[in-house]
Amino acid sequence: MILTIILSLATFAQEPSITLPSALDRVLRDYEKAWTAKDGPALAALFAEDGFVLSSGQPIVRGRAGIAKHYQGQGGPRFLRAVAFFTEGKTGYIIGGYTNQFNAPDVGKFTLTLRNSGARWLIFSDMDNGNARGPN
């Protein structure tokens, strides 16, 4: 019984959050804002012109126009947190988790690959998937 409880608690353990440099944190906060507003064009503007969306159960979406269309009408409350990041020169990444309620456990995870345009960091690719297992 105790072993079962310990194992079930281990299943829900999350990686600890980290603090991002402000330029990278802006990417996450702008994403949250656009997703919450269900604003496909605003989400697409966060991506590089030749960026990608790689959503679970969906075909690859490429380019800002396709991304805006893909995201149009999607959204709702979204809270993103980072667990790792790296930048070197004009490239980088953020790995993290997301949830739909403030301070709630993650319902999914993401990897954002980034490209620095010179003025700001843009998303080159967004890959995410949920934490719940579906039927095989």
Q: Residue 4: pLDDT above 50?
A: no
Q: Calculate the CA dihedral of residues 104, 105, 107, 111 and round it to 10 degrees.
A: 110
Which of 73, 57, 68, 35 lies closest to 127 in space, CA to CA?
57
Residues 62-109: tens digit of each pLDDT: 999 999 999 999 999 999 999 999 999 999 999 999 999 998 999 999
**What's the pTM?**
0.86
Residues 45-63: tens digit of each pLDDT: 999 999 999 998 889 999 9
Contacts of 17 (CB under 8 A, 6+ apart): 81, 82, 83
Local confidence band at 5 (pLDDT 50, 70, 90 cut-offs)? very low
Mean pLDDT across 113-132: 94
**Domains of the chain listed by start with CATH number:** 26-129 (3.10.450.50)
